[in-house]
């Protein structure tokens, strides 16, 4: 086998190993925006025990891999969620809970509630249910783990590649944001 092929195979091997370990050791930043958050304690404690998936809570965005958005977001809260996401280092993932993150859910006609979170931030996994049962939460986390292993959890790349579009939507709804633009430097 030619040296270039060997190097390519070796690189793919190391990347696969690193993805495997990353997927099985995820730190979550829980941004408990709405009532969906009430199902997290059940998923975290002994009955469902999400730590067996290698997932645990993290207090700061800079050390977290996964941002959990647990339900509806007001315009004010969205700003904080964007700041938190921007502080996380790549690769990073977002899991969104409930229909409120898709279309505003039962708050769809409220002027201060964000209707479509994916206009502002890239979502990797949606978890269905208002509010989602702990079983659904565990399934959603398992989906994320599988997606990381097979390289389809690529929200952070979509954010990087379409940064101007995300930024424009953010500014239209929130005005100027205090974010360092790392993608155009």
* 30 part of the interface to ligand SF4, by CB under 6 A: no
Only one of the segments 6-14, 31-39, 116-124, 166-174 lies at the binding site for ligand SF4 (rule: CB under 6 A); that segment is: 31-39
Q: Which of 123, 96, 119 is nearest to 37 (CA)?
A: 96
Contacts of 125 (CB under 8 A, 6+ apart): 93, 94, 95, 96, 140, 143, 144, 147, 153
* 48 part of the interface to ligand SF4, by CB under 6 A: no
Least gap, CB of 70 to ligand SF4 (angstroms): 7
Cα distances (angstroms) measured from residue 2 to each of 8, 13, 14, 15, 174 = 10, 17, 19, 20, 54
For the beta sheet containing 125-127, the strands, ordered from the edge strand earlier in sequence to the opposite edge, are: 55-57, 26-31, 66-69, 93-97, 125-127
Among 55, 84, 100, 137, binds ligand SF4 (CB under 6 A): 100
* 128 part of the interface to ligand SF4, by CB under 6 A: no
* 134 part of the interface to ligand SF4, by CB under 6 A: no
Among 23, 26, 29, 36, binds ligand SF4 (CB under 6 A): 36
Contacting positions for ligand SF4 (CB under 6 A): 34-36, 71-72, 97-100, 105-106, 130-131
């Amino acid at each position: 086998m030619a040296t270039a092929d060997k190097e390519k195979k070796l690189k793919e091997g190391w990347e696969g190993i690193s993805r495997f370990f990353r997927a099985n050791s995820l730190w979550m930043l829980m941004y408990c925006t709405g009532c969906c958050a009430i199902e997290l304690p059940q998923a975290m404690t002994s009955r469902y025990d999400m730590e067996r998936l290698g997932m645990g809570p993290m207090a700061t965005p800079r050390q977290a891999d996964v941002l959990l958005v647990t339900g509806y977001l007001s315009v004010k809260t969205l700003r904080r969620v964007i700041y938190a996401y921007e502080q996380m280092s790549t690769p990073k993932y977002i899991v969104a809970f409930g229909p409120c993150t898709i279309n505003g859910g039962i708050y769809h006609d409220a002027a201060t509630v964000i209707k479509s979170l994916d206009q502002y931030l890239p979502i990797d996994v949606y978890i269905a249910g208002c509010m989602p049962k702990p079983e659904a939460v565990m399934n959603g986390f398992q989906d994320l783990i599988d997606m990381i292993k097979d390289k389809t959890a690529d929200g952070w790349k979509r954010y990087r590649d379409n940064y101007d579009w995300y930024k424009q939507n953010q500014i239209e709804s929130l005005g100027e944001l205090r974010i360092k633009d790392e993608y155009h430097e």
